Amino acid sequence: MTLKHDNQAAFTLSHPNSPDVTYTDVRFEICQPGYVDWQAIAGNSWTARIAGTFLVRAFATADGQSFVVGPVTVWVQFPSEEEMMVDPVIQAHATNLWAQTLALCTPTNRHELGCWILLNTATDTYSFTATTNGPPAPNNQDSYIYLGAPPGDVPHSPTLQHESAVYAVSAFHTHTPTTFRTDGSRIVGASPGDKTASLNLRIPSLVYDYVETPDGSGVIPIAHPMTSNAKMYETESCPRRPSQ
């Protein structure tokens, strides 16, 4: 299961060797490993609002006898880079920051812009921290941005008892035009530094940048037209935030 994107589960009870057995008084419970409090699941459906590993067990009656089945393990992951890249709310915010990045580009300097992407599991919605402006980069130097550490979870160390949480699920930043640069081409997409930062922080990082020119080159040249096609890239060194 994945928060927001695949967070619905429907539990059923069956016996592989006795498919005709009729079960009555079926109920399901869930808990987290290390916790002693089991929570009842309403009916047989459950919506994942907290990331992590969970245990599910069933109580039922068959042929006049009551019994317990399980527990079985249910794993709830954070969203992947691929899932976040196609989310329309994230796409709209990324496109807006890209437009601002282009507007800030002048013949003398450029700025990368960035933010943290947050997921509120109570509403299944993405939001964003305030925009961070990278330092001005002269056109004979590479630009960069430092977002700092990701925001902490709210509440801290969420559990089933909290019902939902707000998680930082990815970093995001833009790269800058080469329109006014005079010192060679640069790679497009996630840079080696972006990949290292994502890996060290153990959290995804999405990057907005130009489409390679020419095709297959992996770069854009100097004096690249500012309004050329651009898109979002995965960093790939940490495809999703670990849930453990």
Specify the pLDDT at position 147. 96
Q: Give pLDDT tens digits for 62-94.
A: 888 898 988 999 999 999 999 999 999 999 999
Q: Give pLDDT tens digits for 183-233.
A: 888 999 999 999 999 999 999 999 999 999 999 999 999 999 999 999 999
Q: Residues of the chain with pLDDT > 70: what percent? A: 99
Handedness of CA 200, 203, 204, 206 (dihedral sign): negative
Q: How far apart are the first and last CA of the chain?
A: 14
Query: What integer is the mean pLDDT of 108-133?
Result: 97
Look at domain 8-76 and name its CATH class: mainly beta
Specify the pLDDT at position 20. 77
Residues 6+ apart with CB under 8 A from 190: 198, 205, 207, 233, 234, 235, 236, 237
Q: Give pLDDT tens digits for 14-62.
A: 776 676 788 889 999 999 998 878 999 998 999 999 999 999 999 999 8
pLDDT-derived band at 238, boundaries 50, 70, 90:
very high
Query: What integer is the mean pLDDT of 233-237?
Result: 94
Cβ atoms within 10 Å of 208's Cβ, excluding its own = 22
Q: Global pTM?
A: 0.94
**Domain regions of the chain by residue span:** 8-76, 81-234
* Residue 34 · residue 54 · CB < 8 Å: no
Query: What integer is the mean pLDDT of 104-131?
Result: 97
Specify the pLDDT at position 17. 67
Q: What is the DSSP string of the chain?
A: -BTTTB-EEE-----TT-TTPPPEEEEEEEE-TT----EEESTTEEE--S-EEEEEEEEEEETTEEEEEEEEEEEEBPPBHHHHHT-HHHHHHHHHHHHHHHHH--SSEE--EEEEEEEETTTTEEEEPPPEEPPPEETTS-------SPPPPBSSS--GGG---EEEEEEEEE----TT--S--EE-SS-HHHHHHHHHHTS-EEEEEEPPSSTTSSEE-TT--TTS-EEEEE--SSSB----
Is the pLDDT assigned to residue 182 strictly greater than 90?
no
Q: Give pLDDT tens digits for 142-181.
A: 999 999 999 999 999 999 888 899 999 999 999 999 999 9
